[in-house]
Chains A and B, each alone.
Chain A
Amino acid sequence: NAGVTQTPKFRVLKTGQSMTLLCAQDMNHEYMYWYRQDPGMGLRLIHYSVGEGTTAKGEVPDGYNVSRLKKQNFLLGLESAAPSQTSVYFCASRTPTRRGEKLFFGSGTQLSVL
């Protein structure tokens, strides 16, 4: 059972380039999330989805777009990368079956924008 899988694990971009981060989960979870982690800033929510075909903005959505075309996949896109988007990105998922249900995280994508 793979859980939450993120690809790629590392990526270096030049300013202005675009890329897509892929998150896949095999736990049949309804909810999926994209977080970024920066030194001294903790985990900040970028976008999330409560079901296939739905997305919503989180705390820091600017410069990112997302899509949830299939229940098991959640894509995070950067249309024009900026150095401020250098960060570690984590995808997470969970079931909404009860209150306070825990998130399962992927192992992260280290992105550097030069």
Chain B
Amino acid sequence: DQQVKQNSPSLSVQEGRISILNCDYTNSMFDYFLWYKKYPAEGPTFLISISSIKDKNEDGRFTVFLNKSAKHLSLHIVPSQPGDSAVYFCAASDKGGSEKLVFGKGTKLTVNP
């Protein structure tokens, strides 16, 4: 039973446009959400996070939005750059088991020049 779902395996956007990556979750006990970025042959690296007490967190070109009633979060990248081409993983932390992160399957973003 997948608790964190990234339903789009891939996304392609033009350089300079907005990239929107989506993530849905089923567990109401999740209270922290994180996005990781992964390049081929490298480990995932942390990008941005959001607490469940907030609905938005911004860091430069990256903004994460959280809609708790819909159990949905999204990562916006504006403007998108070719160097943003990577696999993006959504992850969540459970209040009752905060030592573990549950990851989605990832979305491969391709930013075309």
Contact = CB atoms under 8 A, between A and B. Distances in A.
Contact of A40 (B9, B100, B102): B9
Interface residues of A, number: 25
Contacts of B98: 96, 99-100
Interface in A37-73: 40-45, 48, 50, 58
Interface residues of B, number: 27
Interface of B: prevailing SS: strand
A90 B105 contact: no
A45 B103 CA distance: 9
B108 to A, nearest CB: 11
A99 B32 contact: yes
A43 B103 contact: yes
A45 B24 CA distance: 19
A48 B51 CA distance: 23
Nearest to A45: B100
B18 interface: no
B89 A43 contact: yes
